[in-house]
Every structure is written in C-alpha cells, then in structure tokens.
Amino acid sequence: MASDKSFVDFILDQIEDAGVITCRKMFGEYAVYSNGKVVALICDNQLFIKQTNGGRAFIGEVKEAPAYPGAKMNFLIGDKIEDREWLSELIRITERELPEVKKKVRKL
C-alpha cells in the first residue's frame, strides 16, 4: 500500500526545522532527505528512520522494522511522530552521524 501524500506532508511539516528537508517519491513510497542525506523512509504511512548509534541512544527503547521486504532494519517511529521537537532532534542526530554524500562523477 502506497503512502498517502497527506501523511508525507504531515511528516515533512513536523521536521521542517531539522535542516534542509526534501522528499523524493520512489516506487510509490518516499525517501526523506536532510541536508542532502537520506535520513528516513516513509512506507505504508509509517516513518522509518535510518539507524545510528546517536539515534538509538536518543530514542531509548527502539522498535526496529524493515521499511519494505528485504530492506535493512530501521527505527520505526510510532506515536512520537506527533512530537515535532523530539522528531526534529532525532532527524538532526541521524543526519550528523550519516556519512557525507559522495558526489557522482559523470563519465563522458
């Protein structure tokens, strides 16, 4: 089941202060970027945050699940999506710990 655009818009609104937030539709679902890094996936109207040590420490008791069959485990965020400040801080922590995006070199 594809995610509803209204759910995606809600999540993006919740984390708008967590950096330069963008979103890209992929296969009916969405990748969420903070400062150019993929920090989360929105699949089946659920929010999955990439795993980091800082994110794990910040969340405390985490719930892990794959965003789609065959995917790596992510932090599945439940009721806390309503807490704008908490969610934005988790996005900031996650973005800081992820590696820098490698620039693609175009071959001519």
Domains along the sequence of the chain with CATH: 5-97 (3.30.1460.30)
48-107 per-position pLDDT tens digit:
999 999 999 999 999 999 999 999 999 999 989 999 999 999 999 999 999 887 777 777
Angle at 45 between CA 41 and CA 48, to 5 degrees: 30
Q: How many CB atoms lie within 10 A of CB 8?
A: 18
pTM to 2 decimal places: 0.90
